Amino acid sequence: MDLTPTQRSAGIKLGRPLADYVGEKRTARPQWPWRMIAEQLAADTNGEIQVSHEALRQWYGQEAA
């Protein structure tokens, strides 16, 4: 999958791929909801990366399943 500019920027800010970040939270127990991941992503990047929970679900929903 080709990364969007937002996905690339998030990976740079996080110091690791956004897919890894999301996957870690989706496979945690208890599993993080998409909305909470989106909110935490914004917090972890000091508000620089803000994406909707639906965008995260569309981008990574199949990978985390």
What pLDDT, on the 0 to 100 scale, is given for residue 62? 84
Residues 2, 42: Cα–Cα separation, whole Å: 22
26-64 b/e (C-beta count within 10 Å ≥ 16 → b): beeeeebebeebbeebeeeeeeebebeeeebbebbeeeb
What pLDDT, on the 0 to 100 scale, is given for residue 4? 95
The encoded tokens of residue 62 equal: 């199949």
For residue 5, say if its preceding peptide bond is cis, omega within 30 degrees of 0: no
pTM of the model as a whole = 0.90
6-63 per-position pLDDT tens digit: 999 999 999 999 999 999 999 999 999 999 999 999 999 999 999 999 999 999 998 6
